[in-house]
Amino acid sequence: MDKGKKVEPRGKFQFNIPVTANPVLHEDGSWTITRGNQTIRMPKDGFFFDGGWPQFNELEGEEGYKLFIDEAERIYKETDYFTTFVGYNAYFSCDDMEYQCNMITDPDKIIEINDEIHRNQMSSLEQLIKDLGNHVQAVALNSDLGSQRGPLVNPKLYQELCAPYVKEFCDFIHKNTDWKIFLHACGSLKPLIPIQLTVELIFLTLFRYLLKIWTPLN
């Protein structure tokens, strides 16, 4: 299993990154990492990379999946770590402007898209439960839903077009496992939280750094 490597781009602060990531320091003090046709960039004195979403896995497909299953079992048996499977979509496309516009102009198209995502994810989830058993303790859904000023989507549209899929996904996990469920969503999400509570999420993790309208934890 890829253990990562350590880099020190900012003095005493040390970062663990994938072994397949090769950060490059530029004359202006910025950093870039490129893999395939995707590049991410962190400006000088920055804390985060922006840009594409390069994949750093060396092993993919069946070989990579088998490696993950075996490593999850090893961690469960040899450590006291709480482990989470990350890799499911939360039924909202945060980086596709056409998708977001279609939520208003062509909601049937969004239903068609989310129906297909849901079929694929539920099939994957069913197999994952069989293969992992109790070797992980949680599963994560990921879709950034907010900007610095508020949600990227009208709460009513989110409730109609996205939340039902999230609820069915969560209900299946509650029925068939003891796993906890995380929803990772960047941004200011206060108007969406009441909806998210109805889909029986266990944990809602919010990326709230430098938001102009902070999402309160209560």
| 197 and 129 within one domain | yes
Structural domains of the chain, count: 2
What is residue 109's predicted lDDT score, i.e. its pLDDT? 97
| 189 and 90 within one domain | yes
Mapped onto helix, strand or coil, the DSSP state of residue 30 is coil
What single-letter DSSP state applies at residue 160?
Answer: H
Q: Is residue 85 assigned to a domain?
A: yes
Q: Is residue 161 assigned to a domain?
A: yes
Q: Are 191 and 149 in contact (CB under 8 A)?
A: no
Closest CA to 96 of 39, 54, 56, 144: 144
Q: Is residue 152 assigned to a domain?
A: yes
**pLDDT, tens digit, 9 for 90 and up, residues 13-25:** 777 777 778 889 9
Q: What CATH number did the domain enclosing 134 receive?
A: 3.20.20.210
| 87 and 186 within one domain | yes
What single-letter DSSP state applies at residue 178?
Answer: -
Q: Which residue has the higher pLDDT, 144 or 113?
A: 113
**pLDDT, tens digit, 9 for 90 and up, residues 166-200:** 999 999 999 999 999 888 888 788 888 888 777 65
Task: Count Cα atoms within 13 angstroms, Cβ side, for 179.
Answer: 28
Range of the domain at 178: 61-207
Q: Is residue 125 assigned to a domain?
A: yes
Side chain identity, residue 102: N
